[in-house]
Structure 1
């Protein structure tokens, strides 16, 4: 188990509809004032990162979507410590544009920007904006080139690159980002192509929710591949947190979320993401093994099982750390109040349990 404290991030609700495809009440808003206040609560509660989502078109309960780069800038202006991970899509973004935007954002925020490269799962979104929808593994090959370009542009002058998707000729970006060697680069995905890409080029790998056994298999696989490549990659895990004073209350909320799920929207989302997951050659992409109940939460967040009392959740988080997880990406039903509850009730327990385990390891 790492000696570093496990880190916490939250999903920025810059997309309407919350993080569950359900008609349950969600005291969460996608407007900027709500998000500015949420970010201040989060950084004061011990969260170190926030992830701004990328969606171009309506669907599956997400009728409205703010653009993540500008939204991240607005949140950074309202905070002092929080690091914003901006999700972007190769295709709609060219890496030269993204590199310049993020370098500027890094300067104006004092070095608090990061990026999440999303290879794409929603074919209808690409068609709607006139972007080609590539085959599964081609999307990851393009993303890998995108990351290679970002790193090259951010760290070299007179950068030249000859790829299948991007070409650069003696290009120098100035100013370069404040962070050295460059802002952190995140990516997600569960397929072989996604894991192999992370093991070569990404700083962080996000995985969907899973069982402890499922997480362990993925983590061991990616860390072994990265070691062979002379690379190191950190692991982030998605989780939908339902923390209540009793386990019965927490399980009751989960049941209500599922009971009030929008069957048509969940079914449509399931169709899209299962096509995306099954399109990988080995059929193991994100959501390939997800049930309809799992898919009520976009990224299998129920599977991680951070549902229960503060102590139960803290113990499960520390167990995730033992498996090799470096960061937990949290979703909530009522973001402002539940992020505050997490910081007050759960994070101190996590830190106490971490200290106990470090002492045991040191004396054992």
Structure 2
């Protein structure tokens, strides 16, 4: 399997700190002002992508601030020049025709740097309290498959006709079409069997949650072996991970211990999040197997250690097929800069 050049991205802080919400060195801040500054700094430091997760309400506590993904992504597109902007989307929140038009517009604003991250909702109250309803796991993926089929066709500038269980599209056409490429890139998250089938059939990049290298290798082998539509390019792979890189392994482990202590203060909020979560969501069962800090697998990927240790582990994931590393830090801005200056050059030297 050919490996694409390594890319590094960051998670926008759409709901504040990623590892612990009560950190005196990183006060809770999910504001537009902070996220704007963070994304502009990430671009200056050479990061390749930013992922803007979508929640209409904060998944930890509805009283806490929550950045809106799609309006923020449109603004990032206008403010930046090089970085890829990936906006997550939960299909139940937008009709596919409306969403495709929004995505097409952000693609134009960005000059061809926009991407969609298709996720199927796990936070039950977000949909139920809005009166939308929360279908069971496989039904959400069936809905998402119809949804992305419509969006894909519209983004390609095609006259779209579709008759399914959920959507009936009668000769719809969106203009202006994409002048930069056939359509924006589609990332797909999720590790259940329906998710794997969906990404093999409809996705360009599979986002894998942070976990040990041997588990990632098994996931890549499984999905890479699946049939793809003839017109699709080979599937690529991304990994979410929380990074703690310091001068020495011991220093990194001390900071990890510090974050575990801080994260313990969030236990009531984590328990509430767990109660709101679909028990069929595979990623949360995976997370329970390894102590960690950070979201979407966090430190379970093992990117904790000296600059050289972390670089070697990233290089090993890259050899296994991971192209894009979507990274989290805490304190975010400080460690984002540290990674760009100390770890990224080491990784590129190892894989050159």
Cα distance in 2 for partners of 1:310, 1:36 equals 28
Equivalent residue pairs, number: 347
Cα distance in 2 for partners of 1:84, 1:295 equals 27
Going from structure 1 to structure 2, the CA distance change for 1:230 and 1:153 (only over 3 Å counts) comes to: closer
Unaligned runs of 5+ in 1: 278-284, 356-364
- Give the equivalent residue in structure 1 for 2:53: 53
Q: Find the residue that maps to 2:18 and give its secondary structure.
A: coil
Residue 288 of structure 2 is aligned with which of 261, 268, 291? 291
Which 4+ runs in 1 deviate beyond 4 A?
Answer: 227-231
- Give the equivalent residue in structure 2 for 1:225: 226
Asked if 2 retains the 8 angstrom alpha-carbon contact of 1:21 and 1:60, the reply is no
- Give the equivalent residue in structure 2 for 1:258: 260
- Give the equivalent residue in structure 2 for 1:362: none
Q: Deviations over 1:277-326 (max 9, x none)?
A: 2xxxxxxx112133387464221111101111111111111100111111
- Give the equivalent residue in structure 1 for 2:22: 23
Cα distance in 2 for partners of 1:57, 1:327 equals 28
- Give the equivalent residue in structure 2 for 1:38: 38
Q: Find the residue that maps to 2:206 and give its secondary structure.
A: strand
TM-score for the superposition, normalised by structure 2: 0.93
Root mean square deviation, CA, Å: 2.0
Going from structure 1 to structure 2, the CA distance change for 1:274 and 1:159 (only over 3 Å counts) comes to: closer
Unaligned runs of 5+ in 2: none
Asked if 2 retains the 8 angstrom alpha-carbon contact of 1:266 and 1:292, the reply is no
- 1:195 deviates by 0.8
- Alignment map for 1:175-324 (pairs within 5 Å): 175-226=176-227, 231=232, 232-261=234-263, 262-273=266-277, 275-277=279-281, 285-291=282-288, 294=291, 296-324=293-321
Residue 345 of structure 1 is aligned with which of 332, 342, 347? 342
TM-score for the superposition, normalised by structure 1: 0.90
Q: Deviations over 1:212-252 (max 9, x none)?
A: 11101110000001458775321111100111112112111
Going from structure 1 to structure 2, the CA distance change for 1:96 and 1:294 (only over 3 Å counts) comes to: farther
Going from structure 1 to structure 2, the CA distance change for 1:38 and 1:22 (only over 3 Å counts) comes to: closer
Asked if 1 retains the 8 angstrom alpha-carbon contact of 2:90 and 2:120, the reply is yes
Asked if 1 retains the 8 angstrom alpha-carbon contact of 2:245 and 2:252, the reply is yes
- Give the equivalent residue in structure 2 for 1:170: 171
- Give the equivalent residue in structure 2 for 1:6: 6
- Give the equivalent residue in structure 1 for 2:114: 113
Going from structure 1 to structure 2, the CA distance change for 1:12 and 1:92 (only over 3 Å counts) comes to: same
